[in-house]
Amino acid sequence: MSKYIFKPRDTFTKDLNYLSKIDKSIRLEIKSVIDILIDGEKLPDEYDDHELQRKFQGYREFHIRDTPKGIRASEKNDVIVIYKKQRKRLILIGVRVGSHDKLFKNKHK
């Protein structure tokens, strides 16, 4: 199986650097999941990897951290990654990383 080449957009890198200041372990968590995708493997169900709709059609999202019930969502406990795969060229594009509120401006509620 061929490996993908990971190409983060500037927005992805900026988001990741910001979140790393809040919690350094976020960077390692994201890297470990990106490595699975680079190898062309399907993510385990725990990451809730799924296609996005509407203006994000063609992109995918996976969850790094989900806010526990009864706890208020924050950038430390609600972390998702938006990405896109170009299968023909074997390129994995990191688009954005952050909380639902930050990336979708409250549209997910």
Domain extent listing, the chain: 5-101
State the pLDDT at residue 107.
53
pLDDT confidence of 7, banded at 50, 70, 90?
very high
Task: In whole angstroms, give the CA distance from residue 18 to residue 32.
Answer: 18
Instruction: Evaluate the CA torsion angle 3, 93, 30, 47 in order and state its sign.
Output: negative
Task: In whole angstroms, give the CA distance from residue 92 to residue 86.
Answer: 6
Q: Is the pLDDT of residue 106 over 70?
A: no
Over residues 57-70, mean pLDDT: 92
Q: Is 67 helix (H, G, I), strand (E, B) or coil?
A: coil
State the pLDDT at residue 68.
83
Contact between residue 39 and residue 31 where contact means Cβ atoms under 8 Å apart = no
**Which CATH superfamily is 5-101 part of?**
RelE-like (3.30.2310.20)
What average pLDDT is seen over the chain? 91
What's the pTM value of the predicted model, to 2 decimals?
A: 0.90
Q: Is the pLDDT of residue 80 over 80?
A: yes
Q: Is the pLDDT of residue 34 over 80?
A: yes
